[in-house]
Amino acid sequence: MKIHIDGVNFLSNSGPNSFGQRFARKLIETGHDVNVESGSDSDVSLVFIEPSGRPLAEKIVQRLDGIWFRPNEFETKNVNIKDLYDHADAIVWQSDFDRCMTYRWWGDRKGRIIHNGIDTQPVKISNGDLLSLRSKYETIFVCSSNWHPQKRLRTNIELFFHLMQNGYPNSCLIVMGANPDCQVANPHVFYTGSLPHDLCLEVYRVADWMIHLAWLDHCPNVVVEALSQETPVICTDSGGTQEIVHQFGVVLSEQETYEYDLVDYDKPPTLNFSGLKLPDRKSLGRHFDISMDRVVRSYLELFEEII
């Protein structure tokens, strides 16, 4: 099958782009032709969010990681996304949360939910600093994002301090990612900035828990990456994160319910975790199947349905 991938920056390591790169590589490994320049001679174009303006194939699948639902952006930023939503042959939603959001505002379309994936091979920890942290601290927590208020970095750090005071005194928090909007001077909190993908996986592998309290997140790649290294995740029941964490972690209840309304998602409500106690990791169930084999198989099945 000839597959055109549109809307992916193959020079960027941000979440959607890094997934697009992994997806393209797996397609090629399984014997399919991948074109990133034009869909003119392709069987199908897979468009990430909105088209780049390059020619598309006759059959089009739109991959959505949600829509803009801040009130003052809803009409302006969604123009091209909605136009493709109305005319694509099928839609791929990253989570049921994303499907419900678009259904609420634009009506349902043919398509399916396909959660993000990654190769799940555990990595070897070779970084000396990580090995040093592992020998020094009994419990290592990690959080990661391209930080902005919706991701709740301050709340993540507050939860870490709560856990330190309630059962995990010999612990540290590694904060990965660009533009942290909350920085504390504490010897137990380490900021790394953006790291190469391979090193990120080592951090997840060395960590005991990931904290990801983002509000109304879609299907975050950082959580998929942490799960691939068998690191359980503390998240909330808003958005789509809980769908992939499933039983492999702790899901906190938000204080406010959300009914897919337009909302300023960069002003998340307060989260209460005063009574939280982490379970024994050995008692946790399984997370969702995040293998790239499952992801590619699901996309190919959808492509074959519409061709």
**Confidence band (pLDDT; 50, 70, 90) for 15?**
low
* CATH level 3 topology of 128-283: Rossmann fold (3.40.50)
Q: Evaluate whether 142 touches 226 at the Cβ level (below 8 Å).
A: yes
State the architecture of 2-117+292-306 in CATH terms. Answer: 3-Layer(aba) Sandwich (3.40)
Distance CA 288, CA 233 (A): 12
Model pLDDT for residues 54-104, shown as the tens digit of each residue: 999 999 999 998 899 999 999 999 999 999 999 999 999 999 999 999 999
pLDDT at 148 (0 to 100) = 96
Strands (E), 7-89: 33-35, 44-48, 60-64
Using the predicted structure, report yes or no on whether residue 119 has a pLDDT greater than 90: no
| DSSP helix/strand/coil, 250 | strand
Q: Evaluate whether 257 touches 269 at the Cβ level (below 8 Å).
A: no
- The proportion of the chain whose per-residue pLDDT surpasses 70, expressed as a percent, equals 99
Q: What average pLDDT does the segment 255-284 reach?
A: 94
Domain ranges of the chain: 2-117+292-306, 128-283
Distance CA 125, CA 132 (A): 11
Please determine whether the domains at 2-117+292-306 and 128-283 fall in the same fold group of CATH: yes
